[in-house]
Structure 1
């Protein structure tokens, strides 16, 4: 029967959910989606159990009065008493009531509700834009996904127990006390009023310090996680002690918030004990006085005293529940700052899947800056024909990777449009866009899964034969066969460690190349794709790369010309945002290229020959400077299999356009 209740709430609903709204109440309401009926049932059952517990004291008083009236050994009176039969019936009924409440709370909600929230939160984070993760600790985000879900459950359970449960209980005991004598209600009403004032004083302060503690916990977790994630750097610079002290500073902040919380808890505990003692003395003493006056019976004294003692235990429980409640509310509010943020890059409501026909890429008057701080691209036009191979060469920070990130739509352009085969990428789904693009980066990180899983990430339905073929083409099969891990796995089943730390940089890059080969997308992006490979392996893998590039549109990024030089006519170096005069001229040499750039540059710009890493055996770099100079980068048309020389391909310069 318990297993049947466990299936009532699906923890993994298939439908996507929007980011929850701001505001604690609205956030909690959104988190109850799909479970509100069960939460309402739990609240009603909790109220029923509270009424049952309160009525036990009434029955206790009636039993005491009966025992006072009966003579010892009078079995007939006991058998004929409707009170005892009523007590027995209520006790038997309570078994089903408590069992049902327990199953709804523990089988339906306790596991499924937080798991459902984690499932929803995790999918929300996976849909976040790349810029979101650039500004957050990964460990901090993980903590918020995990802890916020658990804290939402605890907040809901506590509110259900305190509001309907305890609320109904106190109303019931006041009514029962009034049933013996209306004046016996006064001590309980006075206690509730004073306890409420104490809560009004302490609870907001506990809530504030609870949020501060949640922030401190997230910061502490983030710093510790950051050190573990970058443990190689920590070891390389012998900064273990430095990292320990860096984490200790966050731990000190957490300690201080914890001390402030416990000071408030201790003060609340003392005040609560004073109020409870006053209630026991007041209610019990007043009941005795009324009994002495003959206004109430012995049962009333017993019931009132028992209720006051019960309130003693419940008040301490309520205090700790309120402390826990606001600690969890603080955790929820801390998580809300992250979980309620929608992604900056979103699919249009009517977005369709991208349909690739040839892989033509067009940048049409594209402008872009990062957070309004630094203009990277301004009115850029670039046309890449289907199957064309383009190389981008330039200094770090020039905007090469930005161009790639915009094409992948990791960021939205400020102005202009980017199209693939005539389709604006802002009007197609992000999944279909990135499915049409394969990319190998210089900073290759792998998932902490097996080699097989990492290669198959490019095509999840690939067969083992296809995976092995891709690995062989990437010159990765040799080292893969020699791998093993402490779990006893070997070869393609070997776990690579977090971010692939068990593999060398070259091995990780070969796995990444195999993954892209398996994906076989029509557009290929290579960002220093062989930077981690030794020259011998690079030569061996080049034939496979050339084969993979056949029929594909390729954009290759390099900080220096050599990665594209060996299979091209040589990159053309031209720095500058735009040229104002239309010109068409073949570039034969660096000198001719320099003259062409000078010819099309606007008069106010200064053309200068600059000795740089471009000059070292690879021709002369041209720098265009002036009021509108911005982010120089290089565009070159490369052809696989062509011998390297200092001849340049045909260059077409037009207004705001460089087509090579």
Structure 2
């Protein structure tokens, strides 16, 4: 029953609310989500405004909590005085409303306030608000260009998303609830003690000044170490995840345990930053203990002296001592929370620097969906150097007719994959433009562009989900029969039924492990081919699509690949030239330029670079002395 009651409060905040970032036509545009503020205070305020109602409620509850604390200790003093002015027989009748009021505040008022505060924090704010911060941070990172993820650890980025949600939520709730309750208690304590004896209030004012001095002068060091520690934790997380993700390479090649040394280096940095932070915390705790000793001694001496002089009642002494003892307890606890605030602030600063970075590759403000028609592709004077200032692609122009099957050939680094990546707009051009059916790809939405192109790459990575989900990833609305048909056409039906994961899921329900590690290279490639077959895009890119397949399996699905290419514009990259020799046209690249083009027979007759590459492969993968002599003779 209580669960059902509390569930009513869990939907006050939507944990996945965000700006849609859509244009007037309702089409989502990559890079057009509202940017998150890059300044830390503005970042925190941005999210606080998204939950202002519940947070104002938490602020009120925090203030009332501090007020009830002060009232209870003051009530103890009133009760002591009441005991001194009444007999056991007349105590209740003489002070009924005082006793009843204290009982009500203790039994009902305090419990009701703590319940309301707990509901606000635990049901309304903690799950939904914290997750909203994570969700919006995740979405901003997903808006980043492909190159952004190439330059960082995936685990490090994931850690920042997790940390920023927790740190921002904790920072806000601690200020509104814990810190504000503490400030309210201090204000009421100064007021109450000032009414008893102004000198006690003066001691508290001096104590507050000392406390503020500590916060302003000693805690910044903790904040800086907190930020460094957060970055160190992200580095450690990134390195550990990188080791686990590439565990096979580590097992096969790391005989000298250099990976352990690499990860240990991250841990060493984390331990060093943590030790510096804890040294600063010990310094602060020591100063606070001395300051609290001065405060308690000062108030205690003045209270007792006042009682001796007859200006302070026994109840007043009890009130004063109770309040300062509670204040001592709260101040130590509050300093711990302030340390947490400072560390959380440092964590937010560290994460904000990454999460709020503006995407470098975005859709144009007036971008429209690509309307694929026949699949004509045109490279016009394209230049791209990965920002290096030279090499790769220089002023390249190429026309691919609708439905034409084109093979890209060249030595490693000639620019074959770069041309494909530019077509997919994983990078922005430095010069020229690329057109699909007359539409400049820089002026269409990235989502619609990539929806029109099916890609099978050499390095096939699958998602740690079911076989079914991986095949249907490019077409989530696909029916079960369509998924099965795609798997059959990719010759994957022979192994899928026998799959079983550690949780007992079998066949199409079996999960494949991180990056598809539970499958062989050939099995992963066949799932990737099935995914492209199901997507059925008008343009097809095959980047070493059958490289992970053995000859028997490759021959078995070759017919289906040919059928898949029917009616589509195809760009195929292969180092095994025999796999693309039957293409309509071969484009030979060297140092980012087209040096030859034509059919397989035409290029062999030209006896140029392609013929040289062909002779090397047809004579074996090793460039033997006999092959060199044959090439030299042919050149003569």
**TM-score, with length taken from structure 1:** 0.87
Say yes or no: does 1:444 pair with 2:460: yes
Give 1:263 shift. Answer: 1.2
Query: Cα distance 1:73–1:373, how it changes in 2: closer, same or farther (>3 A)?
Result: farther
Counterpart Cα distance in 2 of 1:453 and 1:574: 37
Shift, 1:155, TM fit = 0.9
| Partner-residue secondary structure (3-state), 2:102 | helix
- 1:520 equivalent in alignment to 2:524: no
Mark the CA change 1:105 to 1:578 in structure 2 (over 3 Å): closer, same or farther. Answer: closer
Q: 2:226 — aligned with what?
A: 210
1:248 aligns with 2:248: no
Residue pair 1:481, 1:490 contacting (<8 A) in 2 also: yes
1:556 and 2:572 matched: yes
Please state how far the C-alpha of 1:482 moved relative to its aligned partner. 2.0
Kindly state the Cα deviation for residue 339 of structure 1 after the two structures are TM-superposed.
0.7
Secondary structure class of the residue paired with 2:464: coil
The superposition leaves residues 203-258 of structure 1 with CA deviations (integer Å, 9 ceiling, x where unpaired) of 10100111111111111111111100000100111448322222111111111111
Hey, what's the Cα distance between the residues in 2 that align with 1:485 and 1:559?
Answer: 34
- State the alpha-carbon separation in 2 of the partners of residues 89 and 487 from structure 1: 54
Distance in 2, matches of 1:437 and 1:430, equals 11
Aligned ranges 1:45-444 → 2 under 5 Å: 45-75=61-91, 77-78=93-94, 80-91=95-106, 92-239=108-255, 241-444=257-460
- What CA deviation, in whole Å up to 9, does each residue of 1:425-445 have, x standing for no partner? 111111111111000000001
Query: Distance between the aligned counterparts of 2:91 and 2:80, measured in 1?
Result: 16
> C-alpha separation between the residues in 1 aligned to 2:250 and 2:564?
38
Distance 1:493 1:183 in 2: 75
Structure 1 pair 341–76 and aligned structure 2 pair: CA distance change class (3 A):
closer
Secondary structure of 1:111's aligned partner: helix
- Partner Cα distance (2:121, 2:602) in 1: 78
Aligned mates of 1:429, 1:201 — CA distance in 2: 51
1 or 2, which has the higher helix percentage?
Answer: 2
* Residues 521 and 218 (structure 1), Cα distance of their counterparts in 2 relative to 1, 3 Å cut: same
8 Å CA contact 1:393, 1:558 repeated in 2: yes
Answer whether contact 2:377 2:436 (CA < 8 A) is retained.
Answer: yes
Structure 2: gaps spanning 5 or more residues: 21-32, 620-633
Counterpart position of 1:11: 15
The answer to whether the 8 Å contact 1:174/1:189 transfers is: yes
* Structure 2 counterpart SS, 1:524: strand
Partners in 2 of 1:574 and 1:463 — Cα distance?
41
What does residue 26 of structure 2 align with? none
Is contact 1:561–1:571 with CA below 8 Å preserved after alignment? no
The residue that corresponds to 1:460 in the other structure is 476
CA distance in 2, matches of 1:54, 1:402: 70
Per-residue CA deviations over 1:586-645 (Å, capped at 9, x if unaligned) read 997458647xxxxxxxxxxxxx979953442779xxxxxxxxxxxxxxxxxxxxxxxxxx
| Whole-angstrom CA distance in 2 between matches of 1:587 and 1:530 | 20
Provide the C-alpha distance between the structure 1 equivalents of 2:368 and 2:492, rounded to a whole number of angstroms. Answer: 37
2:586 is aligned, of 548, 571, 580, to 571
Q: Which residue pairs with 1:651 in the alignment?
A: none
Is the contact between residue 389 and residue 555 of structure 1 (CA under 8 Å) also seen in structure 2?
yes
Instruction: State how far apart, in whole Å, the 1-side matches of 2:598 and 2:406 are.
Output: 19
**Residues 528 and 563 in structure 1, CA contact (< 8 A), matched pair in contact too:** no
SS in 2 for 1:366: strand
> How far apart are the structure 1 equivalents of 2:75 and 2:213?
32
- Structure 1 residues 281 and 292: alpha-carbon distance in aligned structure 2, compared to 1, 3 A threshold: same
Tell whether the 8 Å contact from 1:137 to 1:222 is kept in structure 2 after alignment: yes
- 2:23 match: none
CA contact (8 A) 1:561 1:570 kept: no
Mapped to 2, the partners of 1:129 and 1:576 lie a distance apart of 25
Structure 1 window deviating more from structure 2 (546-555 vs 240-249): it is 240-249
What is the Cα deviation at residue 33 of structure 1?
A: 4.7
**Is the Cα–Cα contact under 8 Å of residues 603 and 610 in structure 2 kept in the other structure?**
no
Distance 2:351 2:17 in 1: 22
Structure 1 unmatched ranges of 5 or more: 595-607, 620-645, 647-660
CA RMSD of aligned residues (A): 2.5
SS of the residue corresponding to residue 344 of structure 2 reads helix
Pick from 476, 491, 497 the counterpart of residue 492 of structure 2: 476
Distance 1:202 1:574 in 2: 63
- C-alpha separation in 2, matches of 1:579 and 1:115: 51
Query: CA separation in 2, counterparts of 1:88 and 1:325?
Result: 35
**Counterpart for residue 616 of structure 1:** 616
Q: CA deviation at 1:60?
A: 2.1
Deviation per CA, 1:49-103, whole angstroms, max 9, x where unpaired?
211211222222222222212233224643x544334434544333333222221
Separation of aligned partners in 2, 1:206 and 1:380: 55
